[in-house]
Structure 1
Amino acid sequence: MRASPLFAAVRAEFALPVGFPAAVLAEAAAAADRPPVDGPGRVDATDLELVTIDPPGSKDLDQALGVVRRDHGFRVHYAIADLGRVVVPGGALDEEARRRGQTIYLPDGSVPLHPPVLSEAAASLLPDGPRAAVLWTIDLDDTAEPVSVDVRRAVVRSRARLDYAGVQADVDAGRVHPAVAALPELGPLRRAHAVRRGAVELELPEQEVVPDGAGGWTLRARRRLDVEAWNAEISLLTGMAAGRIMLDAGIGLLRTLPAPEPPALETFRRATRELGFAWAPGASAAEVLAGLPADDPAALAVRRAATTLLRGAGYAAFDREAGVPPPDDAGHGGIGAPYAHVTAPLRRLADRFCTELCLAVTAGAEPPAWVREALPLLPDVMAESDAFAAKVDRACLDRAEAALLAGCLGEEFEAVALRPGGAEGEPGEIYVPDPPVLARCTGALTAGAVVRVRLVAAEAATGRIEFVAVS
């Protein structure tokens, strides 16, 4: 995708790197030339039916999936790109990845964690030949509860590179690729388990910056397809399995989120009722959110209010042998269980280290010394990287919104009031469906109400947007 002047300012503002140092590129090229079958203990799993499901055009394919029905349940094969095979601990590629933390995505292209010769070619699970992978095999019973987990290095061959919309169309038409034939049955069962665990799914409209077909950019709102939700459940299933493996071993790196405090839950419960939705006795926030209607202004305000339940995300490293026990609250409040990152090593640093830990523990081996040494450093690296990526993403959205609205000063729009302003003149928050813009708004707002607002500022250079409620 061509570079855009609109986002060049974001790249400059955040000093995003252009390319990779020569030593990193040389090391990556050498790693890319190695055959995928090298190394001891790697099983041949090229007979498995696996496919990748990603957004259209994606080349950094971390996961290949296979889901089959068995006599008494399901079997999930989840092949993850094997970065441990190509990244030498302490080498130039390793050091550069630790500096970057994760891939940064902008509408006109990405700033990858690893050189494209690996992330979009040799290490990516593209369907053009065998690839080295870490293969998770998870057996589940008829209720979709896991009963066994196996993880080992393998060689796999993806059968096809699919996208969400295409798979969803196939599901709706009653034809599904054999590799994921059981996904439409397993996915909803796992989603139901998530609600019972208390997993908080906001399901807010997702703003997406896309080319407008005339050399510029526009915004569109998209809701997650069923296939995306089912696919996400398989990733979460694997991450929860990894978290349990590491907790049982007393060494690992968890993605954590505190469970909501009672005052936060009570505030959310009150907001839900004030917006006209019942909260049945004994119901959880997850159950209330799962029962909301899809396209309702008041429901949108409820979902926005639920974001206050998802605060305090972080990472917790532990190593009982080194005197650092697991955290007292080892769970992830948004998932409803302990969880670790293992499914996106091409795009996220932590996954490579967590994967190596799981491989060692399940094989009855000592964790690699280089992983153990890095553990205390990873929480800060990942937290800083997450915050940085979020700032870049928000800056791109702000500029796209402002550029799209720059010619509409003084015009009025219909919006949903998500949050009223503060007592001291602090602006409230609105969502404008067309074009899909999330913005601050001054004036009288009632959460959940459909209101008229006037655009009074839109600065493409800074991303500043201001609306005022029309009385």
Structure 2
Amino acid sequence: MVVLARLSAPSFDFDSIRSEFDLRDTFSAEALAEAESAVDRCASDREDRTDIELVTIDPPGSMDLDQAVHVEKSSTGFVIHYAIADVGAVVTPGGALDTETRARGQTFYLPDESVTLHPRVLSEGSASLLPDTIRPAALWRIEVDESGEAVSWTVKRASVRSVARLHYAQVQADFDAGTPHPSIAALGEFGELRARAARRRGAIDIALPEQDVVRDGDSWRIELQGRTAVDSWNAEVSLLTGMCAARIMLDAGVGLLRTLPPAPAGAVSTLKKTASMLGIDWPDGASAGAVLASLPSDAPETLAMMTQATSLLRGADYAAFDGEAPELTEHSGIGAPYAHVTAPLRRLSDRFATEVCLAVVAARDVPEWARTALPDLPAAMRGSDSTASKVDRACIDLTEASILENRVGEQFSGRVLRGSDGKRAAEVFVDTPIVIGKCTGDPPEGEKVTVRLTVADTTSRRIEFAYDSGGDANRSVASTR
């Protein structure tokens, strides 16, 4: 990751957020016992593929390893092997653990401790694709041609072994030095090829720099981190697999898709206006995806532009079907049908979608436990996605308010992203420190202004600025335009 900015705040915990969103750290005794005694129910169906030298790529310290990859360049393109933890084989359908995971929906990540979808003994132990250990997996094999398009795909149950646990910064440094791990030496070329294919599809990649709250001794620090090339290349493997999974399920007439409708009317026009405000060039005829892809990861304006670009991707949902395909099958941000199948240790839906794909490819009936669950999954995932988003935002808001609470009354330089429309307050982008917050005083949209911090409240987790058009700083700004 490329760190763009750091802010620090005194130490505190996030228990209030856990309580507010009713996030339970513990599992029932019955569910925990099932996780501790979990066995591979599909061991007899597995092919031994420990010959493939797979590697995992995750954040440092991660133990819930869902995915292991091997990328090979061929005479006609690339061959991808992608092993996904086979959670469907170790969670007993209808059992206590199955019931609890359906209620949770996904793992929730808070800065001090995650609230996991499965007990750690399973998600960070017996089912995790830890290095130098044989594990049950759903192993995808996908062939990609020289234009970056998938030409064949299959998935089957296999026994696999990862040969290395890598993290993003390490992999990026190895590529920069020209010494990538042999198992992923072709990842960069593959990733760039797939990125070009995505732009041809009209895909929109919101490479929003991430605000991460990390421990800093006795304090908490916010790091704004730009996405590296390796992040993007690795994401292309997961996206490709999800697209192949969607195709399998659509052809079979049963499954679970991740969908997104086309961008709302006027959203692209609004984004062009934002680009103009930020001084970002938008060539004639260029798509939103192409402009976003051209932005430098280390520019503060990229955060503002990417934040506004999220308006293009509203309305994401899940569509379960058994028989007739759903009315909306595409994910407009990807430019193709898509399904979640690559994170079953951390996301409930992936276990069921993977099971459908395994059955269809093996020419077997989809297991009844997976088929009957499909109609309930969209609502479950919708709810947990909403909670996860709110939890992420609450953690960042609490940390920002803690950082800024002793700076109320200070002035900051910023740019007005959105003026007040009578219903919503104006929104200002402050680049030092990097914060996007509400602003009173009717600041002029698109203009550089000086604002004063008026609220930084840790109880409500609220930050607010005020604009004074008659202030000396703003008169000075106006006189230079």
Pick aligned residue for 1:259 from 212, 237, 262: 262
Pick aligned residue for 1:66 from 38, 63, 70: 70
What per-residue deviation string (whole Å, max 9, x for no partner) do you get for residues 20-58 of structure 1? 100001111110xx3x69622201111111111111111
How many aligned positions are there? 459
Pick aligned residue for 1:87 from 66, 91, 94: 91
Partner residue in 2 for 1:116: 120
Partner residue in 2 for 1:364: 363
TM-score by length of 2: 0.91
Whether the 8 Å contact between 1:409 and 1:458 is mirrored in structure 2 is yes
How far apart are residue 249 of structure 1 and its match? 0.7
3-state DSSP of counterpart to 1:87 = coil
Matched, 1:387 2:386: yes
Partner residue in 2 for 1:153: 157
Partner residue in 1 for 2:25: 18
Partner residue in 2 for 1:317: 320
State the AA in 1 paired with 2:242.
G
Partner residue in 1 for 2:338: 339
Partner residue in 2 for 1:307: 310
Matched, 1:78 2:78: no
Matches within 5 A, 1:9-408: 9-31=16-38, 34=39, 39-213=43-217, 215-272=218-275, 277=280, 279-294=282-297, 300-320=303-323, 325-408=324-407
State the AA in 2 paired with 1:82.
D
Partner residue in 2 for 1:430: 428
Whether the 8 Å contact between 2:209 and 2:297 is mirrored in structure 1 is no
Change in Cα spacing, 1:163 to 1:447, as seen in structure 2 (3 Å) is: farther
What per-residue deviation string (whole Å, max 9, x for no partner) do you get for residues 139-163 of structure 1? 1112221111010011111111111
Change in Cα spacing, 1:37 to 1:171, as seen in structure 2 (3 Å) is: farther
State the AA in 2 paired with 1:186.
F
Distance 1:431 1:365 in 2: 54
How far apart are residue 281 of structure 1 and its match? 4.7
3-state DSSP of counterpart to 1:237 = helix
How far apart are residue 190 of structure 1 and its match? 0.8
3-state DSSP of counterpart to 1:241 = helix
How far apart are residue 460 of structure 1 and its match? 1.4
Matches within 5 A, 1:409-424: 409-423=408-422
Moved over 6 A (4+): none
Distance 1:247 1:368 in 2: 17
Distance 1:141 1:467 in 2: 52
Matched, 1:455 2:453: yes
Whether the 8 Å contact between 1:167 and 1:227 is mirrored in structure 2 is yes
Q: CA RMSD in A?
A: 2.0
Q: Which structure 2 residue ranges, 5 or more long, are not aligned?
A: 1-10, 469-473, 475-481
Change in Cα spacing, 1:415 to 1:430, as seen in structure 2 (3 Å) is: same
Distance 1:203 1:439 in 2: 20
How far apart are residue 436 of structure 1 and its match? 3.1
3-state DSSP of counterpart to 1:397 = helix
Whether the 8 Å contact between 1:220 and 1:436 is mirrored in structure 2 is no
TM-score by length of 1: 0.93
Whether the 8 Å contact between 1:300 and 1:448 is mirrored in structure 2 is no
Change in Cα spacing, 1:175 to 1:297, as seen in structure 2 (3 Å) is: closer
Distance 2:415 2:161 in 1: 47
Whether the 8 Å contact between 1:275 and 1:447 is mirrored in structure 2 is no
Distance 2:328 2:284 in 1: 26
Distance 1:18 1:256 in 2: 30
Whether the 8 Å contact between 1:256 and 1:339 is mirrored in structure 2 is yes
State the AA in 1 paired with 2:460.
T
Distance 1:62 1:142 in 2: 28
Whether the 8 Å contact between 2:148 and 2:193 is mirrored in structure 1 is yes
Whether the 8 Å contact between 2:171 and 2:230 is mirrored in structure 1 is yes
3-state DSSP of counterpart to 2:13 = helix
Partner residue in 2 for 1:442: 440
3-state DSSP of counterpart to 1:259 = coil
Distance 1:63 1:456 in 2: 46
Distance 2:32 2:21 in 1: 23
Distance 2:184 2:368 in 1: 38
State the AA in 2 paired with 1:397.
I
Distance 1:228 1:162 in 2: 12
